[in-house]
A = this chain, B = another copy of it.
Amino acid sequence: MNNSTIGKRRIVMKLSGSIFNITNTNAESIRRYAKMLLEISNTFQPIVVTGGGKIARHYINIARSLGSDEANLDIIGIEVSRLNAKLLISALGEQVYSQVPKNLEEVAIAAASGQIVIAGGLHPGQSTNATSALIAETVKASKFLNATDVDGIYDSDPKKNRNAKLFERITIKECMEILGSESSMAGKYELIDIVALKVIERSRIPTWVLRSNVSNIKHAVNNDFKYHVGTEIVVEPTFK
């Protein structure tokens, strides 16, 4: 048991499944994130939630075409995210809790070890986003980093609108309005965010949405404000 992080403040981070979209066996992206987690663990206890990425989508697409119900597809996605968690655990040696926790109780027990904890999804019907927020709540995280494939939260879709503005800070309420206004097109991804937002709101968890890369995450962990890293979600209204 590595005790070095016992008593440290905890940071929950949701890592995009894209980190695990690997086509060789070099797995450079996983190594980089593992190195970052080891550095962070000198100061904080990282609790990580991995996404499913391409292989999850591959399995889900096949199972759906074969007639699987949607709840079962969620379970398949969760199981691939847990395989990804195992890869990250493989890269973290002695400093990591060796098992992938499978529900909130197991996350609490794992976190009590003081080691780095790597989870995948937990429950069907719950996005890894929402799951990560619940984990942040359960382990009383001092910060929740949602590392994604975009730079943060925009006032409109940046792929469609070249002038879309990236928020530095946004209130929960503003965030919900933006999600609400796009609900007809956005597919299932808003759903995720609304559940997560409600959890963030009720437990007042300091939250950042940022593009997933090692330097961004380190800046956000260290409150290094020289660098612009994504969007901070604030529970209290911002006064513009």
Interface, chain A (partner B; CB < 8 A): 1, 3, 6, 22, 25-27, 30-31, 34, 55, 59, 61-72, 75-76, 79-80, 82-83, 86-87, 90-91, 93, 98-99, 103-105, 108-109, 112-114, 122-126, 130-131, 133-134, 137-138, 140, 173, 176, 180, 183-184, 188, 191, 194-195, 198-199, 202-203
Contacts and interface: CB of A to CB of B under 8 A. Distances in A.
A59 B52 CA distance: 13
B69 A87 contact: no
A187 B31 CA distance: 29
Copies of this chain held together in the complex? 6
Given A69-B138, A70-B203, A191-B195, 19 more contacts: A1-B113, A25-B64, A27-B65, A31-B66, A59-B87, A69-B203, A71-B104, A72-B90, A76-B86, A79-B83, A98-B108, A98-B109, A98-B112, A125-B126, A125-B131, A126-B126, A188-B198, A188-B202, A195-B195
